[in-house]
Structure formats: structure tokens, C-alpha cells
Amino acid sequence: MTAILDPRDRLIVALDVPDVASAGAMIERLGDSVTFYKIGYQLGYAGGLPLVRKLADAGKKVFADLKMHDIGNTVAKGVESVAKLGATFLTVHAYPQTMQAAANASKGSDLRILAVTVLTSYDNEDLKAAGYQLGVSDLVTTRAQQAQALGIDGLVCSPEEAGNLRKLIKPEMVLVTPGVRPAGADIGDQKRVMTPAKAIAAGSDYLVVGRPILAADDPKAAAEAIVAEIAAAT
Ligand SMILES: O=c1ccn([C@@H]2O[C@H](COP(=O)(O)O)[C@@H](O)[C@H]2O)c(=O)[nH]1
């Protein structure tokens, strides 16, 4: 990462909610404690994509976590469409054809492409079951090197890999890490996790947090506590 960011801008809240009305209510509750939102499958498939433009127009940044993976032409056209929505980040899966198509299609726009290396809900056993011979660490490294060679702007990985990747990739590439849990929080289906402070110390640029904030009795206080942890670790 090149620019020094305000700790608040390094927290990306995953708006994993069932509909646009719930998203609006959560955004209202979080107020100015959150500057960066992520829209993924749940909200995106429930009519939430127009919210990208709405949030961008309201001065927020938006990460479209659409994890694209298709033939090159389809990926390229999808990337062009998302670029018009005003999103800051868009994810694609870290397959060379897909990354190449996305990198080419985003040229000339403000959209930055992130490659999802290995999902944070996967461990070595899960990769083996899916037919991969490499373990998590080696596959993340291989995909990160391919992403860099193809001109991808950043990587989605777990904080566990951030330290190694930071040494391996050029500083302009951003590391965006889900799999973040405040101490004592339920990890749910995540398998490769760290606390906010440890993730920042390991080299993460942006932390993606969903359930620990969305399910909190006071989501704003939960977000503020994570921002304070980021600030203390910076
Ligand atoms: O490897 C990945 C890629 C994306 N995600 C997304 O991040 C959030 C995490 O939510 P939590 O509730 O904090 O677990 C979610 O939207 C995932 O789709 C990820 O977890 N891992």
C-alpha cells in the first residue's frame, strides 16, 4: 500500500444482510463510524447493486465482492459494468484467464481488481478435497505471483498469509483480509483468522468484517472498537 490511510478507512464492513432495507438501516446505525462497505452475494443478489452508486455518491467507498470467474469475454464485460457503478474494489477468482481479462477490462477506470487467492474458510484439507495438490500457503503464494505478473491491483487472502505476501509483492498491491475476529468472537465458518490488531501488524491494508459487527447489540460500538484496535496497531 502506498498511501497512509486513516485507521477508519481500513475497516471494510461486509453488508451481508438480506435486503436493501436492512442494508439502509445498518448503514444508518453505523453512521460516520464506517467509510467503506462491501456488497457481496447476499445483498447483491437481493437487488443491492444499485446501492454501490448510492453509497459512492454519499462519499463512501464500496467493495463489490462479486468473485467473478467465467470465460474471459464475460468477465471483461462484467468488469466494465461494475466500473460504471462507482465501486472502488471488485473481486475475481485468482485464475490466470480470469485475472487477465479483468485487469485488461479495468484499465482506464478507477476500479481496482482484487484476486481472491484461497478463501479464508478453506484449510489444507479443504483444498485436498477440492483436488488441489498444493496446501494453502503454497497456493496463495503461487496465485499472488500470477496476480502480480498479470497487473492485478491487490489480493484477498487471510491475515495469516499477509506477512509473507507483503515481502513478496510490490508495495502498490493492496492486501485485503477477511477472516478477522476480535478476541473471543465466534469464528463461524472462517478457518484462517486473526484479531484486527494482529492482522494489521501482519501487513493487512484493509480488514473485512461482517458478522462481528452486524450481529453485535451495538454495531456502531463494535465498529468503533475495531477501528480503535487498528489505530493502536498502526
Ligand atoms: O476469502 C474470503 C473472501 C471473501 N470473504 C467475505 O468476507 C466477509 C467476511 O464476513 P464475516 O462475517 O466477517 O466472516 C463475507 O462477506 C465473505 O463473503 C471471506 O470471508 N473470505
State pLDDT tens for residues 119-165: 999 999 999 999 999 999 999 999 999 999 999 999 999 999 999 99
Joined grid coordinates for residue 39: 456488497
Closest Cα partner for 27 from 63, 60, 64, 66? Answer: 60
Structure confidence at residue 1 (pLDDT): 61
Please indicate if the annotation marks 177 as binding a ligand: no
Name the residue at shortest CA distance from atom 21 of ligand 1: 120
Q: Is 16 annotated as a binding residue?
A: yes
Q: Which ligand 1 atom sits closest to the C-alpha of 209?
A: 13
Can you tell me the mean pLDDT for 25-29? Answer: 98
On whether 26 is known to bind a ligand per the annotation, the reply is: no
66 assigned ligand-binding residue: yes
Query: What average pLDDT does the chain have?
Result: 97
Cell of 133: 495438490
Report CA(187)–ligand 1 centroid distance (Å): 11
pLDDT (average), residues 89-102: 98
Q: Do 168 and 141 form a contact (C-beta atoms < 8 A)?
A: yes
**Cα 142 to ligand 1 centre (Å):** 21
Domain boundary assignment for the chain: 7-233
Of 43, 41, 5, the residue nearest 27 (C-alpha): 43
Q: What is the CATH number of domain 7-233?
A: 3.20.20.70
Residues within 6 Å of ligand 1 by CB: 14, 16, 40, 65, 116, 119-120, 156, 178, 188, 190, 208-211
The protein residue whose alpha carbon is closest to atom 4 in ligand 1 is 178
Q: What is the pLDDT of residue 3?
A: 66
pTM over 0.80, yes/no: yes
- Residue that is written with C-alpha cell 505476501 in the block: 165
Helices (H), the chain: 20-30, 41-43, 50-57, 72-85, 96-106, 124-129, 136-149, 159-168, 196-202, 211-214, 219-233
Catalytic residue from among 60, 61, 67, 191: 67
DSSP category for residue 207: E
Q: What is the pLDDT of residues 199-212, one digit of tens each?
A: 999 999 999 999 99
Cβ contact 38:12 at 8 Å: yes
Ligand 1 pocket test: pick from 208, 213, 214, 226 the residue with the most ligand atoms within 8 Å of its Cβ: 208
Active site (annotated) includes residue 84: no
* Average pLDDT, integer, range 13-41: 98
ipTM of the complex: 0.99
Q: Please tell me the distance between residue 167's alpha carbon and the centre of ligand 1 in angstroms.
A: 24
Copy the grid coordinates of residue 181: 475476529
Q: What is the pLDDT of residue 4?
A: 77
Q: How many whole angstroms separate alpha carbon 190 and alpha carbon 51?
A: 27
